Structure 1
Amino acid sequence: MTDKTDFKKTLDGYRAQRGGFRALDVPDTGYLMVDGHGDPNTSPAFAEAIAALYPVAYKLKFASKRDLGRDYVVPPLEGLWWAEDMDAFTTARDKSRWDWTLMLMVPDWIDRAMITAAVEQAGAKNRPARLDDVRAETLAEGRCVQTLHVGSFDDEADVLARLHHEIVPGRGLRMTGKHHEIYLSDFRRAAPGKQRTILRQPVTAAAASSAS
């Protein structure tokens, strides 16, 4: 019987502390991804993206255990979020203006052929509406700052404002990539007040101001 890897326990990127803002270097990571736009609470595309990602992820898990002898817990759902005006996240919270990419991490021992086969298998019966939108891509974030938020998503604004406007510039950094959330709790089941979400922001060193 093979050991089952739980990436939430083994990968440094899934560690964060409530109230603490930790800098870390995130390695390039492979994901299954689906893009979308709009309010995640009301957009049919958001629920359809989740419904397309998980069948592929579970087909990969079963194939890995069967063919490679490597079993693992399907990693937590993750999301990249952005808007033309990033204040849509921290002040206005206008969710209709949000763009997003939902993601499930793919272990580094799984190759493209296995992913292609998993997508085909996921569509063999009860084909998900957005299955054709599922793609495999490597995300390169590099240096990041992250923290743990406990509570509802609508209570993230103050934490994000502190991260964006206080923590990042206060450390001589500037934001570079998309806002990244990792849902350690299943938000379809967990009570809003108990949801545990890692909030991550890719950063780079701020350019030194030139003398006038």
Structure 2
Amino acid sequence: MAETTLTVAPNAWTKRTGTEKIIPIKTLWGRLDGIFPGLWRTRFPDELAIENWCREWAEGLYEEAVTFAMVKTGLEALRRRQGPDQYPPSLPEFIALCKAIPDFEEAFYEAQKQSSNREYGEDSWSHPAVYWAALDFGVYELRQTTWKASKTRWVRILSNRLSGPCSPIPKLLPKPVYKRGDPATAQAAMEQIKSMPWFRVAGAVGGA
């Protein structure tokens, strides 16, 4: 993709970012060109057409609070459904793919399971919103309740998370290693455990 003036309103999708100072919306154009080789590029007869696309999509993604992480989800969905009958998505179609998430009940059971798996570093989440909704709900309480008892509250909490940008799921700290009989090292390891978000949430609920 050649360099364009890109005279669009500044937002997260049009500002240069990262050490390489890339423009995210231009990078997205290139990714779609890679997923739909030939088919995508032929839709743009000149640089003005590319700039018009960048303007509309940058504004649309920004207004719909679509994050970079959510776009990754959308691109992965496009790759999975590739076939001879597949065509590049419209902006509304792509936004829907970016925000795709299991139904609320399935997400509830996912949160219960993955919050337990996270203690062992084996968690796998379908969407950052499910992870953050689990924290908002309360991890300890989430594990003790049922879908029937908490449906209304869970739907409200997850909907709130889906309505705005979600931060990436934080990486777990490495498990502390200490030698038996070394109180100072053991104490430092315990403080590290207490600083973890899951420990703090569970402790707050347990002490309530």
Q: TM-score range by the shorter chain?
A: under 0.3
TM-score by length of 2: 0.21
User: Higher helix share goes to which structure?
Assistant: 2
User: Higher strand share goes to which structure?
Assistant: 1
Question: Of the two, which has the highest radius of gyration?
Answer: 2
Larger RCO of the pair (alpha carbons < 8 Å, separation 6+): 1
TM-score by length of 1: 0.21
